[in-house]
Amino acid sequence: MRKHSIIRWTGVAMAAALATSLAACAPSGSAEDVTGATADEIAAALQEESSITVWGWAPQLEPIVEAFEEKYPKIDVKLENVGTGNDHYTKLQNAIKAGTGAPDVAQVEYYALPQFALSGAFADLTGFGAGELEDQFTPSTWGSVSLNDGIYALPQDSGPMAMFYREDVFTNLGLEIPTTWDEYIAAGKAIHAANPDAYITNDVGDAGFTTSMIWQAGGNPYVVDGTTDVTVDFADEGSTKWADTWNQLVQEDLVAPISSWSDEWYQGLTDGSIATLVIGAWMPGNLESGVPDAAGTWRVAPMPTYEEGVAAAAENGGGGDAVLEQSENKLVAYGFLEFLNGEEGAAIHAANGGFPSTVADLESDEFLNYESDYFGGQKINEVLVQAAKDVVPGWSYLPFQTYANSIYGDTVGQAYASKSDLNEGLAAWQEATVKYGVEQGFTVNGE
Amino acid sequence: MTTTSIVTARRGPFMRRGGARWTGWLFLAPFMIVFLLVLVAPVVYSIYLSLFREQLIGGTSFVGLENYALALGDPKFWDSLGRVVIFLLVQVPIMLVIALAASLAIDSARLHLSSFFRIAIFLPYAVPAVVATLMWGFMYGTRFGLFGNITDAFGLDLPAPLSSNWVLASIGNIVTWEFVGYNMLIFYAALRVIPTDLYEAASLDGAGAFRTVWSIKIPAIRGAIVIAAIFSVIGSFQLFNEPNILKTLAPNAISTYFTPNMYAYNLSFSGQQFNYSAAIAIIMGLITVVIAYVVQLSGSRKVGRA
C-alpha cells in the first residue's frame, strides 16, 4: 500500500521539493508551549470553534475525519495528503526545520517515529493522558510509540508478519507448507526446479524487509540509549542468522529478482511465479485490490521460524499518528488523535481494510471469524492476530532510520546484486550508518 | 505651446542627466527583479549555506570551506561525476547525430508525409519525463516487459537493461528518445532559414545532395549545433528524473549517488545534510559552466575558421 505509491510518485515531487529546500532552512521558532491538559480541558476545547490540519495518506483517514467532524461539528479538520512515506517525511522535516507550516497531526510509520520524536518535533503525549490508553493497544505497537519514557504517537495499524502463499502452487507440486526456514529453502529449490521461471518469493533487497527479518531472528542491531547514544551492530547473532539463511536463497537464485510493487511483481503474484510473500498483515487488502485475478488461490500461514515449533514474528510496516510540537492547537489535536486511534476510529479503520493495533478489535469475534472469500474462505485474521501476539519483543529503530533505509541499496543491495555474502553487505550498511551518525553528532558504537 | 516647450527645454538637460543614470535601469527592472529573486538569491543563499554544518545533535556551526574540501575528496561525488561525463561523451553525440539526420531528411523535401515524421519524432518531447521513464521502465522488464517478450520470441539471451552494467545505457536510450525531437526541431528551424539561392548556386556548380549537406547545410547551422550541444551538456550534468524513477525498479543498480544531482538531492532530503548538499551543488554548477563554456568556445572557433 504505502511503498507502491511512494515508488510511483517520488519523481513527481522532486521539483517542488528542490524548490522548497532553501526556504526550509530557516531557524525554527517555538510555538506556544502546551505540555499537557486534563480530559475535561480537552473535551471543552473540542466544543469550541477551531480547526486543525492533518497530514496523512492512509485511505482510512478520510472516513474517520468525516465521522469526527460529525461528532464535533465545531472542529474543522483539514486533511491533506502531502505524499506517501518518504515524500511525506521530507515535507514534514522541512516544515519542522522552517519552524512554521507543519500540520497539527501527522501520520508516522513506526520506523520513522524515533527520528521525529527524539529530535523534539513531536509532542510527548503523556501530559495529555495518553498513558492511560496503554491497555487498549497491543504491546508491540505500544512499544513502538513509547520512547525514552515518553509517548510520541498513538498506534493506528500494525503489520505483524505472516507468510502469504499460493495454495495451488504448493498443491500441484505436492509440497508441504514450510514452517521453518530450512523447509522454506527446500520448497524454494523444489519450486524453481519444477519451473525455472517460478520462485518461492521475490527479493532484490529492501531495508524494511531486512530489518523485520532480523527482528524475527531475534537480532537487535540497533540499540538506542537516551537521545544521543546509538549502537549499530549487524554482527549480532540474530542478524547473522538471517543473513546466513537468506544467503542460500539469494546465491542459489531461488528468489525472483523483481522489486516489490512493480508491474512484474503484480504479474508474478497473479500467475503464481511468485509463490509466497513474507510480509505485514496489511497485505490482504493489497492482494484483493492489486491481484484480483488470483482470488481463491492465496492463503496465509504463520511465518517460518528458525526453530521448529517456536513461534516468532516481527512487525513489518504499520504506524500511528502524532501531534506536532509546533501545533498551536494541541488540545484539539490530541482530542482528534484519541478519536482517530481510539475505539471509534479503529472501528472505521478496520471496516476499511486496515489491520488494527487495538486489542479490542483484534480479539473481537467478528474480526477473528471473518472468512475471506479472496482467501478461499480462510479465517485469515486468526493467523494474523496470532502473529501479532508472537512478535519478538525488544526491537528498536535508529533515530535516523529514514536515512539509514535510504542508503540500503548502496550497501546491502550491492551484495544482493552481486550475490555475495549478505553479512558483508550488512557490514557495509553498518559502516555507512555509523559514519552518518557520527557526522550528525551522535555517539555511535559499532565502528 | 510655446510656454510648454520652454519649460521642457529648461528642464531638459537636468532630466537627461538623471535619465541617463536611471532610465536604462528602469527598463531592465522587471527582468532584474526576477533575475535577482529566482537566480542570484538562491545561488547566494546556497553559497551561504555551504559554509556551515548543521548536525542533528549539536546544531549549526561555521566551517568555512570545509564542505568543499570534503566534496573534493568524496569518492561518491567523483563517482557520480564520472558517470555523467561518460553519459555525456556517449549519449550526446549519438542523440545529436540522430537529430541532425532526421532534420536533414525532413528538410530534403524527398520524404512523403514529412510533417507527419516531424511531429512523430517531436512527440516524445511532449511526454513528461516522469511518464516516459515509467513507460520505458515497464518496457525494460525482462520477464513480462516488451524487452522480455522480444528476447523470448527470438530466443535471445541479452543482458537485462536494468542490470548494473547496462542501466546507464538504458537511461541514455530513454533520454535520446525524449530529446531527439527537440534537437531536431532546433536544427530544422536553422535549416529553413538558409537562403535557397545557395542551393541553386551549388547545384549549378554540380554539387550533389550529400555535397550540399556537407558543405552548405551543416556549416550554415553550426551555431544551432553548438547551442544544442550546450543544452545537452547541461542536461547531462543535471541528469536526475530518469535514474531517480528507475531506482525504484532497479534499486541495486542505481545508487543514491548515481548522478551528482541525485547525490545532492539525497544528501538534502534523506540525510538532512543541506550544507554539504549546497557545496556539491555549487561545485557542480561551476563545473557545468566551465564545460559549457569550453563547448561554446570550441564551437565558435570552428565557425571562425569556416
| CA–CA dist A23, A17 (Å, integer) | 10
- Contact list in B for residue A119 (CB cut-off 8 A) is 56
Looking at residue B92, its pLDDT comes to 95
Q: Report how far residue A88's alpha carbon sits from residue A85's, in angstroms, rounded to the nearest whole number.
A: 5
Q: Does A197 touch chain B (CB under 8 A)?
A: yes
Cα separation, A346 vs B237, in Å, equals: 49
Render pLDDT for B156-173 as a digit per residue (tens, 0 to 9): 888 889 888 999 999 999
Predicted confidence band at A33 (pLDDT cuts at 50, 70, 90)?
A: low
CA atoms within 13 A on the CB side of B183: 29
Q: Is the pLDDT of residue A46 over 50?
A: yes
CB contact under 8 A, B57 and A86: no
Q: How do strand A150-151 and strand A298-302 relate by DSSP bridges?
A: unpaired
Give the C-alpha distances (Å, rounded to integers) separating A82 from A71, A116, A140, A276, A349. 26, 17, 28, 33, 20
Grid coordinates of B157? 539471451
Burial of A397 (0-12, 13-18, 19+ CB in 10 A): buried
Of residues A399 and A426, more confidently modeled? A426
CB distance A400–B56 less than 8 Å?
A: yes
In A, which residues are within 8 Å of B245 by CB distance?
10-11
With beta carbons less than 8 A apart as the criterion, state whether B142 and B160 touch.
yes
The pLDDT of residue A21 is above 70:
no
Q: In one letter, which amino acid is B157? A: D
Half-sphere exposure for B253 (CA within 13 Å, toward CB): 22
Tell me how far apart the alpha carbons of residues A346 and A348 are, in angstroms, rounded to a whole number: 5
A204 and B251 within 8 Å at the Cβ level: the answer is yes
Determine the average pLDDT of the residues in A398-409. 91
DSSP secondary structure string for all residues of B129-187: HHHHHHHHHHHT-SSSSHHHHHHHHHT--PPPTTSTTTHHHHHHHHHHHHHHHHHHHHH
User: In whole angstroms, what is the distance from residue A405 CA to residue B251 CA?
Assistant: 12
Of B145, B240, B256, the CB nearest to A410: B256
Angstrom distances, CA of residue B113 to CA of A135, B101, B103: 75, 16, 14
Cα–Cα distance for residue pair B297/A280, rounded to 1 Å: 59
CATH number assigned to the domain covering B69-305: 1.10.3720.10
pLDDT tens digits, one per residue of A362-386: 888 989 999 999 999 999 999 999 9
Rounded distance between C-alpha atoms, residue A254 and residue A203, angstroms:
10
Contact A280, A316 (CB under 8 A): yes
Q: Pairing relation of β-strands A319-323 and A154-155?
A: antiparallel
ipTM over 0.90: no
- DSSP letter at B128 equals -
Is residue B296 scored above 90 in pLDDT? Answer: no
Which pLDDT band holds residue A148 (cuts at 50, 70, 90)? confident
> A210-259, pLDDT tens digit by residue?
999 999 999 999 998 887 899 999 999 999 999 999 999 999 999 999 88
Q: Is the dihedral of CA A425, A428, A430, A432 positive or negative?
A: negative
Q: Please answer yes or no on whether A18 and B42 come within 8 Å at the CB atom.
A: no
Kindly indicate the confidence band of residue B191, based on its pLDDT and cuts at 50, 70 and 90: very high
Domains of chain A (ranges, CATH numbers) = 2-158+318-363 (3.40.190.10), 161-314+393-445 (3.40.190.10)
Check B133 against A402: CB less than 8 A apart.
no
Residue at A163: amino acid letter:
M
- The model's confidence at residue A8, banded by pLDDT at 50, 70 and 90, is very low
What CA–CA distance (Å, rounded) separates A252 from A190?
A: 12
Nearest to B267 by CA among A367, A327, A90: A90
Residue B20 binned pLDDT confidence (cut-offs 50, 70, 90): low
Cα–Cα distance measured from residue A267 to residue A273, given in angstroms and rounded to the nearest whole number: 8
Find residue B7's DSSP bridge partners: none
- Phi, psi torsion values for A218, nearest 5 degrees: 90, 10
Looking only at the bridges linking them, the beta strands covering A105-109 and A319-323 are antiparallel
Q: How confident is the model at residue A10 (pLDDT cuts 50, 70, 90)?
A: very low
Task: Transcribe B203-264 into DSSP letters.
Answer: HHTT--HHHHIIIIIHHHTHHHHHHHHHHHHHHHHT--HHHHHHTTT-TTTS-TTSSHHHHH
Distance CA A112, CA B136 (A): 32
Residues contacting B168, CB < 8 A, separation 6+ = B83, B86, B87
Secondary structure of residue B91 in the 3-state scheme:
helix
What is the average pLDDT across B284-292? 93
Q: What is the mean pLDDT of residues B105-132?
A: 90
* Cβ-contact B71, B280 below 8 angstroms: yes
Which SS3 state, helix, strand or coil, does residue B54 take?
strand
Phi, psi of A199 (to 5 degrees): -135, 160
Mean pLDDT of B76-103: 96
Q: Do A93 and B266 touch (CB under 8 A)?
A: no
Q: How many residues does chain B have?
A: 306
The pLDDT of residue B16 is 53
How many contacts (CB atoms, under 8 Å) link A and B?
A: 105
Going from N- to C-terminal start, the domains of chain B cover 2-39, 69-305
**Which residues in A lie closer than 8 A to residue B270 (C-beta atoms)?**
86, 402-403, 406-407
Smallest CA-to-CA distance from A86 within A62, A63, A57, A44 is with: A57
Q: Look at residue A81 and tell me whether its pLDDT is greater than 80.
A: yes
| Burial class of A157 by CB neighbour count within 10 A (0 to 12, 13 to 18, 19+) | buried
CB-CB contact of A151 with A131 (8 Å): yes
Q: Provide long-range contacts, Cβ within 8 A and 24+ apart, for B104-108.
A: B104/B187, B104/B191, B104/B213, B104/B217, B106/B184, B106/B188, B107/B188, B107/B191, B107/B192, B107/B217, B108/B209
Mean pLDDT of chain A: 89
The answer to whether the Cβ–Cβ distance between B251 and A205 falls below 8 Å is: yes
**B-contacting residues in A 244-303 (Cβ below 8 Å):** 258-259, 261-264, 267-268, 273
> Measured between alpha carbons, how far is A144 from A113 in angstroms, rounded to an integer?
8
* Interchain contact A413–B (C-beta under 8 A): yes
What was the pLDDT predicted at A16?
38
Query: Which position has the higher pLDDT, A8 or A265?
Result: A265
d(CA A193, CA A394) in angstroms, rounded, equals: 39
Asked whether the beta carbons of A267 and A198 are under 8 A apart, the reply is: no
**Minimum-distance CB partner of A441 among B58, B250, B252:** B58
What is the rounded average pLDDT of the residues A428-437? 95
Per the CB < 8 Å rule, is B252 touching A440?
A: no
Q: Cβ–Cβ of A440/B164 closer than 8 Å?
A: no
- Give the pLDDT confidence of B70-86 residue by residue, as tens digits: 999 999 999 999 999 99
Give the percent of chain B with pLDDT over 70: 92
Measured between CB atoms, which of A17, A228, A262 is closest to B57? A228
pLDDT of residue A77: 96
* Residues in Cβ contact with A14 at an 8 Å cutoff, skipping those fewer than 6 apart: B240, B241, B244, B265
Q: A244 and A425 in contact (C-beta within 8 Å)?
A: no
Cell of B259: 548522478
Is residue A417 less than 8 Å (CB to CB) from chain B?
Answer: yes
Strand order in the sheet with A222-225: A222-225, A229-232, A443-445
Predicted confidence (pLDDT) at residue A12 exceeds the cutoff of 60: no
Tell me: pLDDT of B35 over 80: yes
For the stretch A352-368, pLDDT in tens is 878 999 998 888 898 99
Taking 50 as the threshold, does the pLDDT of residue A2 lie above it? no
Alpha-carbon distance of B287 to B290, in angstroms, equals: 5
Give the closest residue to B67 by CA, choosing from B84, B48, B80, B85: B48
> What would the 3-class secondary structure string for chain A be?
CHHHHHHHHHHHHHHHHHHHHCHHHCCCCCCCCCCCCCHHHHHHHCCCCEEEEEECCCCCHHHHHHHHHHHCCCEEEEEECCCCCHHHHHHHHHHHHHCCCCCCEEEEECCCHHHHHHCCCECCHHHHCHHHHHHHECHHHHHHHEECCEECCEECECCEEEEEEEHHHHHHCCCCCCCEHHHHHHHHHHHHHHCCCCECEECCCCHHHHHHHHHHCCCCCEEEECCCEEEECCCCHHHHHHHHHHHHHHHCCCEECCCCCCHHHHHHHHHCCECEEEEECCHHHHHHHHCHHHCCCEEEEECCECCCCCCCECECCCEEEEEECCCCCHHHHHHHHHHHHCHHHHHHHHHCCCCECEHHHHHCHHHHCCCECCCCCECHHHHHHHHHHCECCCCCCCCCHHHHHHCHHHHHHHHHHHCCCHHHHHHHHHHHHHHHHHHCCCEEECC
